[in-house]
Amino acid sequence: MPTSVVLAGRSVRVRPVPRTPEGVMGVLPETDKTEMATDLGGVEAGAAHGRLLLNTHTWPDGSALGNRLLARLRPGARLVVSGHGRTQCYRVFSRQQVLASNGYPGWDRRRGTPQAVIIVCSGRRLGPGDWTDRTLWFARPYLGGRPAA
């Protein structure tokens, strides 16, 4: 289970959060603007299959980590995920923005090629915790040189 990630030039604390009663990955308390959440009991960094899930908040005043990611995190960026004496590097290969109402089916899959996914609220803010879109970054394990297929 990750405890930190280095991305967009910054080291960020990662905390595990449980899923909601509906089975959706939870989020950190809304006042936490600087950390990331990971899926408690979900796919771990370095797993042979499935997607490591990470999320963070976006704030209307632009002061949260999600806002910085929206401004700076692009395909080609590296993520260095660490925890409990282990490190796994990933390279972002895709950034996608989707309507929140449509979601991104399979973004939290537990099978298939190993990846990490970061998700943040984006688009237009309709109200507290209610945004029109979600932005997702997909990353593959990276060992240096060319990213893994």
Q: CA 108, CA 16: separation in Å to the nearest integer?
A: 15
* pLDDT band per the 50, 70, 90 thresholds, residue 146: low
Residue 53 class from Cβ within 10 Å (0-12 exposed, 13-18 middle, 19+ buried)? buried
User: What confidence tens digit (pLDDT) does each residue in 34-45 have?
Assistant: 999 999 999 999
pTM of the model: 0.92
